[in-house]
Chain A
Amino acid sequence: MAIEAVGARRPGGLLARLGAGILDLLQVLGEAGNLFLAAVRLAPAALVDRGRVAAQMVRVGTDTLWIGALLSLFVGMVLVVQAADQVSNVSQDILGPIVGLSMTKELGPVLMAFLLAGRAGSAMAAELGSMQVYDEINALRTMDIDPVRFLVMPRFIAATLALPVLIIYADFIGIAGGALVVASDPAISLPVHAYFDRLLEWVKFRDVVIGLLKGVVFGMIASIVPCTFGLRTRGGTEGIASSTTAAVVWSFILILVFDFMIVRLSFALD
């Protein structure tokens, strides 16, 4: 996905286009970095603007809660079915640890971050993009109201606080989904209590904390990237659509890049 949200004209020629694309990317990353720093600097104002933060948390929650539950349930179920088939000749004792570790360390954080970026993040990009195109953000500026404090900071705080909570919720439902298959699938001879016993033996508190730490970082990405694209929207409804698509795709990419970095860092610190 090229960064085309600003509707800039591309020069001709492969190298020129590549160069322009790299410059665009650096420009977006720079803007996102600046917006992140501004949102962090304004974070203490969340205490004063708690009504707006709470409203954004409700939006994030209602956007992701039900579909997140469904997604996590089926991911937990599929994990057990797949793993049971693979370990049929060894021991089904490891089904609990497989589901527990996968959900808490990787799938819970990444799936919920993708969901947040895809649902709430796309809504943020579209809403801010629309406000940019229809001069609402300029109207705020003429009223001496800082758009970052008024629009970005509440979304940033809400997503950053909400995602770890959503991850815990997804972890529980995913693990419960796995237990459901363990209990009901005739091909699995492992008792449900053994599934939970092994899971609790293997999943350490540290694994859960790493998952939640990922949630904090992914929550920041899934709000700052859409807000960045929303605020740089130009060119009417077509520009809003481009911004929204680019915001979701670049959120996904950055979530995976930071996922890799956090995993590497956590192993390096072991």
Chain B
Amino acid sequence: MAADRHGVALELQGVRRVYDGHAVLRGVDLDVEPGRLVAILGQSGTGKSVLLRQIIGLEKPDAGRIVVGGIELPRYLALAPEEKPFVMAMVFQSAALLASLTVAENVSLRLRERGHHSRAEIDAITRRVLEQVDLAGTERKTPSELSGGMRKRVAIARALAVDPQIILYDEPTADLDPILTEEIGRLIVRIRDTRGATQIIVTHNLPLARGIADRIAVLDAGRIAEYVTPEELVRSRHPLTREFMRAAMLVEQGEL
């Protein structure tokens, strides 16, 4: 797989993470093909975000291995930024924009710190990715001047600015209304279709997961209970999946 144009594969084997004697991840196995859009579905507090933090390298698993683009994660993380054969990016639940920087400065931060591009190139990339997330004209605003949905889109633009081969999203639609949720969902699908990046989305939003993902991994009790297509998910017999489906249907039909 050419890492410069398309997404890269992700493989997790027996990933385990324990906090204060409590195992949050109990041996997660997951294979994501290059360019796939995978949703990790699970109840709140079941370790979905913890799993993403292992994949991006913010935390080290207590056991198991993570291989990204054919490289063991610890080896990839030890490489200098200019030596890394592909780029990983993460969109945090809170957007995690630097409050003291403008939108343009946030989006271009990683490019400026790398020092590989001229100022004109950086400005052009910043404008282009902001247009892609429908935020042209917001360059000079600060994060505090933006709505929650706009902040999420700036965070996505910041990820796109470095043309990553793998993008991780932690609850990208949390706290957003259904219209903004749909907008973010469409944007993520467009990124897959136009850039071919591998994307992992952690969410408890079942309609979103079914609507955009190529495959859905259901995380239950620290393990992947199911790893299926959206169509297969509907026919699932797994109790947690059935519960998710039933609850989503009740909410949709206003029968609470």
The answer on a CB contact under 8 Å between B96 and A138 is: yes
The answer on a CB contact under 8 Å between A139 and B113 is: no
Tell me the minimal C-beta distance from B46 to chain A in angstroms.
Answer: 19
Known: A142-B90, A143-B109, A143-B113. 8 other contacts (CB 8 A): A134-B94, A134-B96, A138-B53, A139-B92, A141-B58, A142-B89, A143-B89, A143-B110
Once the chains are docked, how many angstroms separate the CA of A215 from the CA of B56?
A: 41
The answer on a CB contact under 8 Å between B81 and A139 is: no
Which are the 3 A-B pairs with shortest beta-carbon distances?
A: A139-B96, A135-B96, A144-B81
A145 interface hit (Cβ, 8 Å)? yes
A197 interface hit (Cβ, 8 Å)? no
The answer on a CB contact under 8 Å between B110 and A145 is: yes
Tell me the minimal C-beta distance from A224 to chain B in angstroms.
Answer: 20
B-chain residues with CB within 8 Å of residue A134 when the two chains form the complex: 94, 96
A-chain residues with CB within 8 Å of residue B113 when the two chains form the complex: 143-145, 150
Contact with B along A104-142 (1 / 0, CB 8 A): 000000000000000000000001001100111011111
A136 interface neighbour in B53, B58, B81, B99, Cβ under 8 Å: B99
Tell me the minimal C-beta distance from A145 to chain B in angstroms.
Answer: 5
B-chain residues with CB within 8 Å of residue A131 when the two chains form the complex: 98-99
The answer on a CB contact under 8 Å between A136 and B96 is: yes
B88 interface hit (Cβ, 8 Å)? yes
The interface of chain A, by Cβ under 8 A from chain B, is 127, 130-131, 134-136, 138-145, 150
Residue of B nearest to A133 (CB): B94
A-chain residues with CB within 8 Å of residue B98 when the two chains form the complex: 131, 136, 139-140
A142 interface neighbour in B58, B84, B93, B114, Cβ under 8 Å: B58
B219 interface hit (Cβ, 8 Å)? no
With A142-B58, A144-B81, A144-B110 known as contacts, the answer to whether A135 contacts B89 (CB < 8 A) is no
Residues of B77-107 contacting chain A, CB below 8 A: 81, 84, 88-90, 92-94, 96-100
B-chain residues with CB within 8 Å of residue A143 when the two chains form the complex: 89, 109-110, 113, 162
Once the chains are docked, how many angstroms separate the CA of A143 from the CA of B84?
A: 12
The answer on a CB contact under 8 Å between B110 and A135 is: no
Q: Which of the listed residues B84, B109, B162 has the most CB atoms from chain A within 10 Å of its own CB?
A: B109
B-chain residues with CB within 8 Å of residue A142 when the two chains form the complex: 56-58, 88-90
B92 interface neighbour in A127, A130, A135, A144, Cβ under 8 Å: A135
The answer on a CB contact under 8 Å between A135 and B109 is: no
Once the chains are docked, how many angstroms separate the CA of A138 from the CA of B90?
A: 10
With A141-B58, A142-B58, A145-B113 known as contacts, the answer to whether A135 contacts B94 (CB < 8 A) is yes
Once the chains are docked, how many angstroms separate the CA of A142 from the CA of B57?
A: 8
Once the chains are docked, how many angstroms separate the CA of A150 from the CA of B110?
A: 12
Once the chains are docked, how many angstroms separate the CA of A135 from the CA of B92?
A: 7
Tell me the minimal C-beta distance from B174 to chain A in angstroms.
Answer: 13
Q: Which of the listed residues B56, B88, B110 has the most CB atoms from chain A within 10 Å of its own CB?
A: B110
Once the chains are docked, how many angstroms separate the CA of A131 from the CA of B98?
A: 8
The answer on a CB contact under 8 Å between B58 and A145 is: no
Provide 20 A-B residue pairs closer than 8 Å at the C-beta atoms, listed in order of the A residue. A131-B98, A131-B99, A134-B94, A135-B92, A135-B96, A136-B98, A136-B99, A138-B58, A138-B92, A139-B90, A139-B92, A139-B97, A139-B98, A140-B98, A143-B110, A143-B113, A143-B162, A144-B81, A144-B84, A150-B113
B-chain residues with CB within 8 Å of residue A135 when the two chains form the complex: 92-94, 96
A-chain residues with CB within 8 Å of residue B90 when the two chains form the complex: 139, 142
Contact with A along B157-196 (1 / 0, CB 8 A): 0000010000000000000000000000000000000000
Once the chains are docked, how many angstroms separate the CA of A145 from the CA of B162?
A: 13
Residue of A nearest to B81 (CB): A144
A-chain residues with CB within 8 Å of residue B93 when the two chains form the complex: 135
Residues of B11-66 contacting chain A, CB below 8 A: 53, 56-58
A-chain residues with CB within 8 Å of residue B81 when the two chains form the complex: 144
Tell me the minimal C-beta distance from A62 to chain B in angstroms.
Answer: 15
Residue of A nearest to B53 (CB): A138
Residue of A nearest to B113 (CB): A145
Q: Which of the listed residues A127, A141, A144 has the most CB atoms from chain B within 10 Å of its own CB?
A: A144
Tell me the minimal C-beta distance from B8 to chain A in angstroms.
Answer: 16
Residue of A nearest to B98 (CB): A136
A-chain residues with CB within 8 Å of residue B97 when the two chains form the complex: 136, 139
